[in-house]
Chain A
Amino acid sequence: MYDVAIIGAGVIGSLIARELTKYSLSVVVIEKEADAALGATGANSGIVHAGFDAKPGSLKARFNVAGNKMMEEVCRQLGVSFKNNGSLVIGFDDEDKKVIEELYERGTKNGVERLEVIDSKRLHELEPNVSEKATVALYAPTGGIVCPYGLAIAALGNAMDNGADFRRCFEVKSLEFKDGFYEISDGSENICAKFVVNAAGVFSDAIARLVGDDSFKITPRKGEYMLCDKESGGIVSHTIFRTPSKMGKGILVSPTVDGNLLLGPTATDIDDKEDTSTTPEGLAVIANECLADVPGVPTRTVITSFAGLRSVDNKGDFIIDSPAKNFVNCAGIESPGLTSAPAIAVYVAELLEGLGLELKKNEAFNPYRTSMHEFRDMTMEEKNEKIKKEPAYGKIVCRCETISEGEIIRAIRENPGAVTVDGVKRRTRATMGRCGGGFCTPTIVEILARELGIKYEEVTKFGGESVYNFGKVK
């Protein structure tokens, strides 16, 4: 019997789990996939928004601004890549200028600090590669970038280090409250918990319905991206947004914390909550818009494309409430959900306390976790010390990103251990380079098989039937 079960190992569920392990509670995170961060958290812009977009007074505005302020410290504790690179919303005409001034007003009301409306000269001093045609911009120095899946994985790992459990491949299909606790079932097995948190992303409406809450509906809104080689990462240093229009927030051009260049996202409402395919139309739109904003964007250095689904609810704000006994919704957590996550986590703990969960401080709580990129960031002398102790760190497996066998083994052994090739990828960056894993995938499959004690042909890309091989050759 757990005190709290959290459904969904995205950034929201993972940070809530970590928050709750600060108290003497037994916590389990339940995830239908083979790993954390495979939902929206694995495919988004990774922007730590300043907070000028959301309507004043909304939960989005409140948690965005609060989360923005917390992000740097949370990332420092968890060893997650974060950079305070600042954001720019660029405008091309008078109409854009009006919108930018509104954003400034709104941001100031929301409590965003140091916002500025700047002219073309200042804009091009900050970003020489932005289109000459841009005449005005909103400058938000508090904007940042973060590794979104890195944050979720590290938060979950830290929660596990502090005693939480992680149940993978458990798809919640029913929730039954009786005798003061929930029976959570995937159809064959049960997990019991006194309190349940619904952090199931695009499926949060389905989970809410299991406790009789049909007050909202989630529509998946697809956002497609292209990612460019690191050689292009330096073309801009700030995150460049187009002035929002009726069509949405528009497409951005941003460096990532790993030094790549990210282009996207599009915005298309779809029906299928599992459709993260990219489309020819989407990719074309991205290329065109990015070239208009930053004419030098090197679309020929694209190394991958992907898509994520925003959880758009019909209420226009985050839904964080308690529709049933001992049950909390974290639903409709679309952008700026990543930014808001640390603040939402604190709020949910308070909500649970209000519902009767006793929060007694866990004296043994350790907020720290070693960065997954610890080895990469060492000096040559430090690396050599490490290699002397663990020679596997001297064997490079992924040549594009220079990732060693030691780092891959660590990713498999450390909480929450990687069990798939994509899991290794998200933790170490192996296969994420320009060759797309062509050279190292067979070796990583081998290491996974050996470490997990499974057959070579049982290793998958991301769980389920996503196998690489069908057995031995004849």
Chain B
Amino acid sequence: MEHKQLIIIGGGPAGMSAAVSACNEGIRDILIIEREEALGGILKQCIHNGFGLHKFGEQLTGPEYAERYSDNVKELGIPYITETMVVDVSDDRVVTAVNKEKGYFQIKADAIILAMGCRERSRGALNIPGARPAGIYTAGTAQKFVNIMGYMPGKRVVILGSGDIGLIMARRMTLEGAKVEAVCELMPYSGGLTRNIVQCLEDFGIPLLLSHTITEIHGKDRVEGVTICEVDEKRVPKKETARHIECDTILLSCGLIPENELSKSAGITLDRVTSGAVVDGDRQTSVPGIFACGNVLHVHDLVDFVSDEAEIAGKGAADFIKGIKEEKETVEIIPEGGVRYTVPQKVAKGEGASLYFRVADVYKNVTVALYDGENLIAKKKRPKVAPGEMERFEIKPEYLENAEKLTLKLIFG
């Protein structure tokens, strides 16, 4: 069987950044395997501005951001194959892939980095009742139709969910001459970035209806309209508020789900909240030598953080291959009271880490606090936190010295 030191599955920003990082750590026998025709991942279809502010201090489009990394990959001579899909990963690190030239083939790797990205929640997963006409798309599918294929998927649009892709598509469809009737958001707040709400909706006069949902889809062949309702605090539709909006298209922007089918085939332990792997500070999963980063690990709002995380995974994999890491005791980080999850979920003693986390609701004037049992270890004040924006908390090595597990939570008021 063919052998490689490092296989990276997925050539999006996460995969590319991990490859560059591992290469800079001295690993040369790498292979990036990408399903699509080119490197770049989902960024290829994100032709709007706003990428790279954190990483490069400038506003890039998605393809421009991706190109910085793909140029880097090419300059460093890191091998990659495209139009090749990985169909299986085993716990002893055998990768099975398929393409037109080689058919099905297997490669054994010393280490693997999972960087498969995520998928969007579909209509079926949302279980919206009603008819099943054409004209219902996830926002990302519509983005692909418009930006990659060059076709208009609709003229009168209602968007369900106020995730960033939906907001971006509201603007995009409007600029292309479509009428976006409304964006309905089930929660009393938007899941998207504030800057997108301003630049994509407010600037175009598109109404954002918070605490609203689509309760029924109408239309025989093509969508003809939707019934929308306001919802109460328990998110139950209030029937008396039902109203009809005529439209020919529904876009869904209701969240992203990490693509962890391969992780499951490798028997990797997944986090019930993130739907991604449980990892340590190096982004190593429960299966030794298999690492994960980017949207396959947890959903990011900003690609800049994906790149950062992938660098960590790339270095972690390089260290693993070199065998310079001895097995270390880890401390589990438990999310509690307002903190939904953290990544990593455990940190090795003596190492420290940046914890990324998300909160459960919009809160003002909170303190993020790290506890060892009853003892407060560290804290940080935040004027406002929201589920749509990822937060960060630094764990210093000294916090971990005497701990078995630590709790991260919000203190209100």
Interface string of A150-174 (1 = CB under 8 A from B): 0000000000000000000000000
Mostly helix, strand, loop or mixed at chain B's interface? mixed
- CB pair B134 A460 closer than 8 Å: yes
- CB pair B153 A306 closer than 8 Å: no
In the bound complex, CA of A436 to CA of B138 (Å): 9
- CB pair B35 A277 closer than 8 Å: no
- In the complex, how many residues of chain A place their beta carbon closer than 8 angstroms to a beta carbon of chain B? 56
- CB pair B152 A462 closer than 8 Å: no
- CB pair B129 A468 closer than 8 Å: no
Query: Is A180 engaged at the interface, CB distance under 8 Å to the other chain?
Result: no
Contacts of B120 in A (CB 8 A): 435, 438
- CB pair A468 B134 closer than 8 Å: yes
Query: Is B99 engaged at the interface, CB distance under 8 Å to the other chain?
Result: yes
From B63-71, B142-150, B285-293, the one touching the partner chain is B142-150
Query: Is B364 engaged at the interface, CB distance under 8 Å to the other chain?
Result: no
- CB pair B124 A380 closer than 8 Å: no
In the bound complex, CA of A171 to CA of B382 (Å): 66
Contacts of A466 in B (CB 8 A): 133-135, 221-222
In the bound complex, CA of A280 to CA of B141 (Å): 26
Q: Which of A442-474 contact B (CB under 8 A)?
A: 442, 446, 456-457, 460-474
- CB pair A283 B134 closer than 8 Å: no
In the bound complex, CA of A435 to CA of B132 (Å): 16
- CB pair B145 A442 closer than 8 Å: yes
- CB pair A469 B153 closer than 8 Å: yes
A380-B104, A442-B148, A470-B152 known; A436+B134 contact, CB < 8 A: no
Contacts of B220 in A (CB 8 A): 274, 464
- CB pair A468 B100 closer than 8 Å: no
Q: Which of A275, A283, A436, A467 has the most CB of B within 10 A?
A: A436
- CB pair A276 B154 closer than 8 Å: no
- CB pair A384 B103 closer than 8 Å: yes
Contacts of A460 in B (CB 8 A): 134, 221
In the bound complex, CA of A456 to CA of B151 (Å): 8
- CB pair A471 B130 closer than 8 Å: no
- A473's partner among B99, B131, B141, B152 (CB-CB below 8 A) is B152
Query: Is B85 engaged at the interface, CB distance under 8 Å to the other chain?
Result: yes
Query: Is A396 engaged at the interface, CB distance under 8 Å to the other chain?
Result: yes
Query: Is B300 engaged at the interface, CB distance under 8 Å to the other chain?
Result: no
- B132's partner among A283, A303, A306, A384 (CB-CB below 8 A) is A306
Q: Which of B362-401 contact A (CB under 8 A)?
A: none
Query: Is A209 engaged at the interface, CB distance under 8 Å to the other chain?
Result: no
Q: Which of B51-85 contact A (CB under 8 A)?
A: 83, 85
Query: Is A402 engaged at the interface, CB distance under 8 Å to the other chain?
Result: yes
Contacts of B104 in A (CB 8 A): 380, 383-384, 387
Q: Which of B119, B150, B151, B221 has the most CB of A within 10 A?
A: B151
B124 CB to nearest chain A CB (Å): 3
- CB pair B134 A467 closer than 8 Å: yes
In the bound complex, CA of A231 to CA of B257 (Å): 15
- CB pair A470 B85 closer than 8 Å: no
A392-B100, A394-B101, A473-B152 known; A441+B124 contact, CB < 8 A: no
In the bound complex, CA of A465 to CA of B149 (Å): 21
Q: Which of B177-219 contact A (CB under 8 A)?
A: 177, 215-217
Query: Is B125 engaged at the interface, CB distance under 8 Å to the other chain?
Result: yes
A436-B122, A438-B140 known; A396+B85 contact, CB < 8 A: yes
Query: Is A226 engaged at the interface, CB distance under 8 Å to the other chain?
Result: yes
A229 CB to nearest chain B CB (Å): 9
- B151's partner among A277, A438, A461, A473 (CB-CB below 8 A) is A473
A268 CB to nearest chain B CB (Å): 13
Query: Is A410 engaged at the interface, CB distance under 8 Å to the other chain?
Result: no
B137 CB to nearest chain A CB (Å): 8
In the bound complex, CA of A460 to CA of B133 (Å): 10
Q: Which of A310-362 contact B (CB under 8 A)?
A: none
- CB pair A435 B122 closer than 8 Å: yes
- CB pair A438 B141 closer than 8 Å: yes
- Nearest residue, chain B, Cβ from A43: B132
Query: Is A55 engaged at the interface, CB distance under 8 Å to the other chain?
Result: no
In the bound complex, CA of A474 to CA of B261 (Å): 38
- CB pair B98 A394 closer than 8 Å: yes
- CB pair A468 B153 closer than 8 Å: yes
In the bound complex, CA of A304 to CA of B129 (Å): 10
In the bound complex, CA of A206 to CA of B374 (Å): 76
Contacts of A383 in B (CB 8 A): 98, 103-104
Query: Is B107 engaged at the interface, CB distance under 8 Å to the other chain?
Result: no
- CB pair B100 A391 closer than 8 Å: yes
In the bound complex, CA of A446 to CA of B150 (Å): 12
In the bound complex, CA of A391 to CA of B84 (Å): 12
- CB pair A302 B127 closer than 8 Å: yes
Residues of A within 8 A of B (CB): 226-227, 231, 274-280, 282-283, 302-306, 380, 383-384, 387-388, 391-392, 394-396, 399-400, 402, 434-439, 441-442, 446, 456-457, 460-474
9 nearest interchain CB pairs?
A: A436-B122, A304-B124, A384-B103, A461-B134, A465-B221, A466-B134, A391-B100, A394-B100, A469-B151
- 8 contacts across the A-B interface (CB closer than 8 A): A302-B127, A438-B119, A438-B137, A441-B137, A469-B145, A469-B151, A469-B153, A470-B153
